[in-house]
A and B are shown apart, each in its own frame.
Chain A
Amino acid sequence: MTALAQFRRDTDYIEANLSLVAPFVDERLRVKTMNVTVENLTKAFGATPALHGVSLEIASGELIALVGPSGSGKTTLLRLIAGLDFPNSGRVLFGAEDASSKSVQERNVGFVFQNYALFKHMSVFENIAFGLRVRPRATRPSEASIRQRVMTLLDLVQLNGLEKRFPGQLSGGQRQRVAFARALAIEPGVLLLDEPFGALDAKVRKELRRWLREIHDRTGHTTVFVTHDQEEALELADRVVVMSQGRIEQVGSADDIYDNPATPFVFDFIGDSSALPVIVDKGSIALDDRILSIDAKGHADGPATLFFRPNHVRLAGQESGSIVGTVTGSRRHGDIRRLELEVGLARHRCEIDVPADSDVSRNGRVAIKPTDWRLFPRDS
């Protein structure tokens, strides 16, 4: 129920803001985009399950990120949408149309592979032109308009002048952009990118990230991109889909995901956080032998995990009900200092941020209080 409401809210938001983007849209590149619906997709490779009933609504023109650890099923989901693989159950809809019976070719999906899969015996030009050249004669553009389209795309991906090069003569970032232009050439209804920046170094990644956002805003493709880098997902996407072990953990805007993680996994995976095993008993929380002054009214009794972010903690001095521990490490991050602590009897590890000039020394004792936190029930 919340996911759907969330989705409605997000699409409203996007539609309301579309006018902001509109003036920059490049009409030559503007395409008919589609919304995509994924219904209850299940996929297993032999005995290995890869997806457990995944459902997702992707709005037309949206830039959406699939993020999750390696092996969580992101690539599998993308391949099922593209039709490169078939689901064991469930279906994919393009617009209102069931795509189950459609071949890969008929789906008209632009797919950018993790390692680009450029045709290494073809020049950059021919790589980008490929999707146009293989069209049936009736719909194949003339040589002149193929040329024009390839040049427009080269311009878009900022590779003018490199059309005669071969993939082997390009840098990683340039190959990435060729793969991108090649996928755009067929005017896809949906663009699917599998770890588009995965193989690039940090600096190029950052550049291409901004570049992808700009291109998306200019062309307006419905775009799904996969990443294992949560920072990339939060920075780039209209909406973020967090996946773990073949399931969707949460769908929402970057703010939503970061501020209101729906599950322990999301809290742990997105952003920095500490997790302490606690016991909830009639509205109060106990860490090992200490009762914490954290109000847990409304939470069910029993074992739970207390999550908080390093920057949502304050030093507590002598107050009662604080979390007490020993500093085991300290790293400087710009204006703040991140402390590693061992807290409680069982020496649970956690991290907190303090001002860089705080006089806490290694092995010193500190007492802390989370100012913002979440409590999730824990099994056993």
Chain B
Amino acid sequence: MSEQTLAASATMPPETWRAPTAEVSVVRLVLIGVAVLFIGVFLGFPLLVVFFEAFLNGVAKYFETFADSDTQHAILLTLLVAAIAVPANLIFGVAAAWAIAKYDFRGKALLITLIDLPFSVSPVIAGLIYVIMFGAQGYLGDWLKAHHIQIIFAIPGIVLATIFVTFPFVARELIPLMEEQGTQDEEAAISLGASGWQTFRRVTLPNVKWGLMYGVLLCNARAMGEFGAVAVVSGHIRGLTNTMPLHIEILYNDYQWVAAFAVASLLALLALVTLIVKTLLEWRFSDELANGPR
């Protein structure tokens, strides 16, 4: 035997060999086919339709949509809400994750459960709770009115509802990550003379930065796309309390389909960008994200 065939036979498995977990090819093809078909029908096709409908009457008509002041306002409002809700949840998420992962205290399990609440509660219920709390007929309605504070049917209500719906994202991402990392690095930093803040900024934060970005990304996507909770508290006032998702609904109900899909295409684009950045993060830093890639 020549050296070459020796080397080849050393690296190539025999033809009859099959990895123990590998399915026979027919089964494998069917499974992959089903998965691709499912994703295509339920995800890919609607996405295509959004862009198709948006550009149905040409590029000019598409961009005309964004000249409309109500549409512009809806986009700006969405950006504003996200710009408040995401940093708020960033701070809350980091604080909650820090407390849960690094300290032992009574009611810890309860706190973890509460953080998950927005995942299990219907967003509409979340919105209704705010209406009952802060609405004109609500518990605090009279007091708020006396002090000329309007929350429901105004921007503060939208921000509150969005914060509620999106607050698990950052905390959920950080808690397992911080728990896994334990407190040893922090102890090392403190024993080297670092203050609490220095330890946080120089050691804790860098240790979780990719997980944090990941959580913020998901939080932002949800904050911009939230419909249910916001719909209840906003009052649908055009040019005042309409966010992008609400504006899309109104345009659609007004038979302004191109405009509706044009705005929808922005949200779809946001989803795509989120997906790409998320995939990049997972691909590059999977070992530094909680529970690895999802």
The residue that B206 contacts in the complex, of A108, A111, A121, A185, with Cβ under 8 A, is: A121
Q: Is B194 an interface residue (CB 8 A)?
A: yes
Q: Considering the chains assembled together, what is the distance between the CA atoms of A94 and B245 in angstroms?
A: 65
Q: Is B95 on the interface with A (CB-CB < 8 A)?
A: no
Q: A121-B207, A134-B198 are in contact. Are A111 and B184 (CB under 8 A)?
A: no
Is A130 part of the binding interface, using a Cβ–Cβ cutoff of 8 Å?
Answer: yes
Q: Is B142 engaged at the interface, CB distance under 8 Å to the other chain?
A: no
Residue A84 is within 8 A (CB to CB) of chain B in the complex: yes
Residues of B within 8 A of A135 (CB): 193
Say whether A130 contacts B191, CB under 8 Å: no
- Report the tally of A-B residue pairs with Cβ distances under 8 A: 58
Q: Which of A113-168 contact B (CB under 8 A)?
A: 113, 115, 117-121, 130-131, 134-135
Those of B199-223 within 8 Å (CB) of chain A = 202-203, 206-207
Q: Cβ of B206 and Cβ of A131 under 8 Å apart?
A: no
A110 within 8 A of B: yes
Complex Cα distance A135/B193, Å? 7
The residues of A that contact B198 with a CB separation of less than 8 Å are 134
Chain A residues near B207: list those with CB within 8 A: 120-121
Which one of B184, B185, B192, B207 has the greatest number of beta carbons of chain A within 10 Å? B192
Nearest chain B residue, comparing its CB with the CB of A105? B193
Q: Are A130 and B194 in contact (CB under 8 A)?
A: yes
A84-B193 in contact (CB<8A): no
A84, B184: Cα distance in complex, Å: 10
Q: Are A104 and B184 in contact (CB under 8 A)?
A: no
Say yes or no: A134 contacts B195, CB within 8 Å.
yes
* Partner pick for B193 among A117, A119, A121, A131, CB 8 A cutoff: A131
Least Cβ–Cβ distance between B72 and chain A, in angstroms: 42
- Bound-complex Cα distance A118 to B187 (A): 11
A84 and B191 in contact, given A113-B184, A121-B207 (Cβ under 8 angstroms): yes
Flag whether B140 is at the interface (Cβ < 8 A): no
Whether a CB of chain A sits under 8 angstroms from the CB of B280 is: no
Taking a contact as CB atoms under 8 Å apart, the answer to whether A134 and B193 are in contact is yes
A130–B207 CA distance with the chains assembled, in angstroms:
15
User: Does the CB pair A117–B192 fall under 8 Å?
Assistant: no
B206 touches A82 (CB 8 A): no
**Known: A121-B207, A130-B189, A134-B202. Is A105-B194 also a contact (CB below 8 A)?**
yes
Closest beta carbon of chain A to B68's beta carbon, Å? 47
Please count how many residues in chain A sit with their CB below 8 Å of the partner chain's CB atoms.
23
Question: Which A residues are CB-close (under 8 A) to B190?
Answer: 84, 104-105
Q: Is the CB of A182 within 8 A of B192?
A: yes
The 8 A CB mask of A343-366 against B (1 = contact, 0 = none) is 000000000000000000000000
A204 to chain B, nearest CB (A): 22
| Contact of A109 with B by CB under 8 A | yes
Q: Is A186 engaged at the interface, CB distance under 8 Å to the other chain?
A: yes
Any A CB within 8 A of the CB of B48: no
Residues of B within 8 A of A186 (CB): 192-193
| Known contacts A105-B195, A119-B203, A121-B206, A134 near B189 by CB under 8 Å | yes
Cα-based distance from A186 to B203 in the complex (angstroms): 17
Q: How far is the CA of A82 from the CA of B192 in the complex (A)?
A: 11
Given contacts A130-B202, A134-B202, contact A104 B191 (CB under 8 A): yes
- A-side contacts of B185, CB under 8 Å: 117, 119
Q: Given A119-B185, A130-B202, A134-B202, is A110 in contact with B191 using a C-beta cutoff of 8 Å?
A: yes
B188–A115 contact, CB under 8 A? no
Q: A217: shortest Cβ distance to chain B, in Å?
A: 24
Q: Which 9 A-B pairs have the closest CB atoms?
A: A131-B192, A117-B188, A134-B194, A111-B191, A117-B184, A121-B206, A134-B198, A105-B193, A104-B190
Residues of A at under 8 Å CB distance from B?
82, 84, 104-105, 108-111, 113, 115, 117-121, 130-131, 134-135, 182-183, 185-186
9 extra interface residue pairs, beta carbon distance < 8 Å, beyond A104-B191, A117-B188, A130-B189: A84-B190, A111-B188, A111-B191, A113-B188, A115-B184, A120-B207, A130-B192, A130-B194, A131-B194
Contact surface of B with A, Cβ cutoff 8 Å:
184-185, 187-195, 198, 202-203, 206-207
7 residue pairs A–B, Cβ–Cβ below 8 Å: A82-B191, A104-B191, A105-B193, A117-B187, A121-B206, A182-B192, A183-B192
